[in-house]
Amino acid sequence: MPTDAASLALGKDLVGLETLSPAQLRFILDTAEPFKEVSERAIKKVPALRGKTIVNLFFEASTRTRISFEFAEKRLSADTVNVATQGSSVSKGETLVDTARNLEAMRIDMVVIRHGSSGAAKFLGDRIASNVINAGDGKHEHPTQALLDLLTLRDKFGRIEGLKVAICGDILHSRVARSNIWGLTKLGAEVGVCGPPSLLPRDIEELGVTILPRIEDAIAWADALNVLRLQLERMQAGFIPSLREYNRVFGVTRDRLARAPKDLVILHPGPMNRGVEIDSDVADGEHSVILPQVTNGVAVRMAVLYLLAGGTGAVAAAARGEAA
């Protein structure tokens, strides 16, 4: 049992990494390790969350995050229900607070929420007794994505501390970037951000990151690149002139990587726009950890589900002085 277990408790919800301590982040990553093995078993299922009901409430389309959570839930033996906005009462104008009250009335144990508005996960968590896990809220945070990125980096380098990680692309609109910045800086990595200045948020340096003006700077500086997806809408909204030019100026290409002083590990949260932010031969190359990221996603989400589910009775148990 680690010392001072109470300080490791995640609380009721996982809204973001901003509020977690370095010890809590390490604890989640450590807990994810044994869950990797569960997914390698012939019967990929343990009864840890048997009888728990989990709703995956997705207000935005998402395939990989939803599937990853669903696998994680099912491998922990939870009962899961998927609610997508299409065809649900949500698309008929029901407010988030009404949705929350309805879920509460159905006595569900956990909600995994993906929503287009920043703060939606906290909003929900503040209003229901169930555990809430943020699967991406607007441009705010996507904590499980950052956790799987951290786990993948730790697998590859054996450590996070002292690593130089450059997050490349549309930082302004990216919840993945924000969660990564919190997670990486808390665990002692150096973080650089690289992208067109029109896609960098105001005062981002004050979060303790270095701005790398050009992709060549990022490649020369970093141990690993986390390449963000560039949405087509950014071009329509006038942030960049064209995807073609984006690739020419900011694309992570084999030629650019060839000039790097060392081999860079390449991460991408997916889904990729091949030929825009990343070239296919980089995405599929020997230094890409994009598929291990996906594998680790299930393990990290199992760990988070498991830790939050165990947390509820824990305070009382700790008060009784029981050891685990």
Partner 1 sequence: MTSILIRGGRVIDPSRGTDGVADVLVEGNTIAAVGRGIEAPDGAQVIDATGKVVAPGLIDLHVHLREPGQEDLETVASGAMAAAAGGFTAVCAMPNTDPVTDNQAAVGFIVSQAQRAGKARVYPIGAVTLGQRGEQLAEFGELVGAGAVAVSDDGKPVGSSHMMRTALEYARTFGIPVANHCEEMSLAQGGAMHEGLVSTRLGLKGIPAAAEEIMVARDIILAELTGGHVHLCHMSTRGSVELIRRGKEKGVRVTAEATPHHFSLTHERCEGYDTNAKMNPPLREHEDVEAIRQGLKDGTIDVIASDHAPHHYDAKEREFDNAPNGIIGLETALGVAIRDLVESGVLSLPALIDRMSTRAARIFNLPGGTLAVGAPADVVVLDPTERWIVRPESFRSKSRNTPYAGAELVGRAHQTVVRGRIVFDIRTA
Partner 2 sequence: MPSRSPLLDERAIARTLARMAVEIVERCQGTEGLLLVGIQRRGVELAERLGRLIEASEGVQVPRGKLDITLYRDDLQTVGVGPVVGETHLPGTLDGRTVVIVDDVLYTGRTIRAALDELADFGRPRRILLCVLVDRGGRELPIQPDIAGRTVRVGPGERVDVLISELDGRDAVELARAD
Is 64 catalytic? The answer is: yes
Q: Interface with partner 1 by CB under 8 A: which residues?
A: 18, 95-97, 115, 117-120, 122-123, 137-141, 175, 178, 201-204, 206-207
User: According to the binding rule CB under 8 A, does residue 206 interact with partner 2?
Assistant: no
Helix spans in the chain (H): 22-38, 64-75, 96-105, 120-127, 143-157, 175-186, 215-221, 233-236, 243-250, 254-258, 280-283, 290-311, 314-319
Residue 140 touches which of partner 1, partner 2, none (Cβ within 5-8 Å per kind): partner 1
Q: 275, 242 in Cβ contact below 8 A?
A: no
Q: Which residues contact 244 (CB under 8 A, 6 or more apart)?
A: none
Residue 117 touches which of partner 2, partner 1, none (Cβ within 5-8 Å per kind): partner 1
Residue 260 touches which of partner 2, partner 1, none (Cβ within 5-8 Å per kind): none
User: According to the binding rule CB under 8 A, does residue 5 interact with partner 2?
Assistant: yes
Residue 306 touches which of partner 1, partner 2, none (Cβ within 5-8 Å per kind): partner 2
Cα 289 to Cα 306: distance, rounded to the nearest angstrom: 25
Q: Cα–Cα distances in Å, from 123 out to 15, 134, 217, 261, 291?
A: 10, 11, 39, 46, 33
Query: Distance from first CA to last CA of the chain, Å, rounded?
Result: 7
In the complex, least distance from residue 159 CB atom to partner 1, rounded to whole angstroms:
27
Site for partner 2 in 271-310 (CB under 8 A): 306-307, 309-310
Is 256 catalytic? The answer is: no
In the complex, least distance from residue 189 CB atom to partner 2, rounded to whole angstroms:
23
Q: 298, 75 in Cβ contact below 8 A?
A: yes
Give backbone dihedrals phi and psi of 45, rounded to 5 degrees, phi first. Answer: -160, 130
Residue with smaller CB distance to partner 1, 72 or 194: 194
**Interface pick for partner 2 out of 14, 76, 121, 135 (rule CB under 8 A):** 76
Q: How many CB atoms lie within 10 A of CB 244?
A: 12
Q: Quick one: 163 exposed, middle or buried, by C-beta within 10 A (0-12, 13-18, 19+)?
A: buried
Residue with smaller CB distance to partner 1, 19 or 77: 19
Count the alpha carbons within 13 Å of 214 in the hemisphere toward its beta carbon. 6
In the complex, least distance from residue 116 CB atom to partner 1, rounded to whole angstroms:
8
Is 234 catalytic? The answer is: no
In the complex, least distance from residue 315 CB atom to partner 2, rounded to whole angstroms:
7
In the complex, least distance from residue 96 CB atom to partner 1, rounded to whole angstroms:
6
User: According to the binding rule CB under 8 A, does residue 64 interact with partner 2?
Assistant: no
User: According to the binding rule CB under 8 A, does residue 107 interact with partner 2?
Assistant: no
Is 65 catalytic? The answer is: yes
User: According to the binding rule CB under 8 A, does residue 123 interact with partner 2?
Assistant: no
User: According to the binding rule CB under 8 A, does residue 22 interact with partner 2?
Assistant: no
Catalytic residue among 52, 75, 114, 140: 114
DSSP 90-155: GGGT--HHHHHHHHHHTT-SEEEEEESSTTHHHHHHHH-SSEEEEEEETTTB-HHHHHHHHHHHHH
Residue 256 touches which of partner 2, partner 1, none (Cβ within 5-8 Å per kind): none
Cα 266 to Cα 31: distance, rounded to the nearest angstrom: 24
In the complex, least distance from residue 177 CB atom to partner 1, rounded to whole angstroms:
10
Triad 314, 316, 319: Cα angle to 5°: 110
The site for partner 2 (CB under 8 A) is made up of: 1-2, 5-6, 8-9, 27, 31, 33-35, 37-38, 41-43, 45-49, 76, 306-307, 309-318, 322-324
Catalytic (active-site) positions: 64-65, 92, 114, 142
